[in-house]
Amino acid sequence: MAATTTTTYTPPSLPPLFTHTNPPPVLLFQGAEAHLYKTTFLTPETPAALKVRPTKAYRHEALDRRLTRQRVLHEARCLLRLVREGVRVPAVLSIDWEPSGGGGDQQQRPVGAWLLMEWIDGPAVRVVLERWEAWMKKSLSGFGQEDTAAIKEEEENRVKDLMVRIGQVVGSMHKAGIVHGDLTTSNLILRSPDLPSNQNPEQFFEMQNPKDIAESPSTTGDIYLIDFGLASSSTYDEDRAVDLYVLERAIGSTHPMTEGFFSHVLQGYSDSFKGAKSVLKKLEDVRMRGRKRSMLG
């Protein structure tokens, strides 16, 4: 039997500006299109988020350089527009792309392009809801029937309020003429005053062991939208409705205990966006198409 070999993935080199920072950048995510690091800006005490779009060895260098530059510029423009309109998103701190490396070997080619943004302290809403559901399942069984009903109502009201705030920030984004394109609870951050600023960044994005969850997580704070790599400028009700549908499906598939609270997202959306009525009508059409697609496989 032939022996199998495994290769360890090595992320691409960091942009030259970030190769000697102290502390060094910490890799948080590595996706197909980009790598996300936590780093610093100007001083070691000022955290920042660095999104690097590496080169693609399978693309012609000139095409790859043009596409990478266009995409990082488009994401930055979306963020700048939203910041101007007062939408809660990370501020753009710096942006750059590398010139031609003059060769087809990826090791000799430049980093690609990068975007440096404000670091938003706080957990992803996905993690907050996962911890909340784990706490509910673990803790409520230990109370009496009357206590359980009262605690359950109080806890659900906290999460419903969180859903309203999610809808409000999505509505403010659509009001500014931007659709997200990948609206999931992983791309919503809860910036809470109750959280320590020096918390390990990985804990913001990863679920704890349910046995270690001693109390219901905080749901107070402001909701921020992140990751605009698939965003676009649009004022079409169809595009806005698809954004909402993607969020609805994400909540339903990832957070079953909160699936019934999506109406509160739509309530917050309607409160912050005057054009919500026509978007919600279009959402019904999008839902119908989604159900037909599910039935047909």
Which residue has tokens 């046995």? 211
Question: Do 143 and 108 share a structural domain?
Answer: no
The residues facing 25 across adjacent strands are none
Check if 243 is active-site: no
**How many Å apart are CA 8 and CA 153, to the nearest integer?**
48
CA distances from 53 to 14, 201, 203, 223, 247 (A): 10, 21, 24, 26, 25
Q: Where are the beta strands (DSSP E) in 180-240?
A: 188-191, 222-225, 232-233
Q: Which of 83, 118, 153 is the last residue of a domain?
A: 118
Question: Do 255 and 133 share a structural domain?
Answer: yes
Domain count, the chain: 2
Length of the chain counted residue by residue: 297
Which residue has tokens 């992320």? 11
Domain range for residue 74?
A: 16-118
Q: Specify if 23 maps to a domain.
A: yes
Instruction: Please tell me whether residue 89 adopts helix, strand or coil conformation.
Output: coil
Model pLDDT, residue 163: 98
The runs of H, that is alpha helices, within the chain are 61-84, 125-139, 145-175, 237-254, 262-272, 276-296
Question: Do 84 and 224 share a structural domain?
Answer: no
Q: Which of 64, 83, 118 is the last residue of a domain?
A: 118
Question: Do 277 and 176 share a structural domain?
Answer: yes
Please enumerate in sequence order all residues whose Cβ is within 8 A of that of 164, keeping only pairs 6 or more positions apart, or say none: 264, 265, 267, 268, 271
Q: Which of 14, 9, 2, 29 is nearest to 186 (CA)?
A: 29
Question: Do 287 and 163 share a structural domain?
Answer: yes
Residue 125 · residue 109 · CB < 8 Å: no
Looking only at Cα atoms, what is the longest distance across the chain? 72
Tell me the CATH number at 167.
1.10.510.10
Q: Specify if 109 maps to a domain.
A: yes
**How many Å apart are CA 5 and CA 61, to the nearest integer?**
30
Residue type, 185: T
pTM over 0.85: yes
Question: Do 106 and 152 share a structural domain?
Answer: no
Question: Do 141 and 62 share a structural domain?
Answer: no
Q: Specify if 10 maps to a domain.
A: no
Q: Specify if 9 maps to a domain.
A: no
Question: Do 129 and 81 share a structural domain?
Answer: no
Q: Which of 3, 12, 190 is nearest to 101 (CA)?
A: 12
Catalytic residue (choose from 182, 227, 239, 271): 182
Model pLDDT, residue 103: 44
Question: Do 134 and 22 share a structural domain?
Answer: no
Mean pLDDT by 10 residues, the chain (297 residues): 57 82 89 90 92 85 87 96 98 85 48 92 94 86 69 93 98 98 96 64 55 80 96 97 97 95 98 96 92 53
Tell me the CATH number at 113.
3.30.200.20
Model pLDDT, residue 120: 95
Question: Do 222 and 291 share a structural domain?
Answer: yes
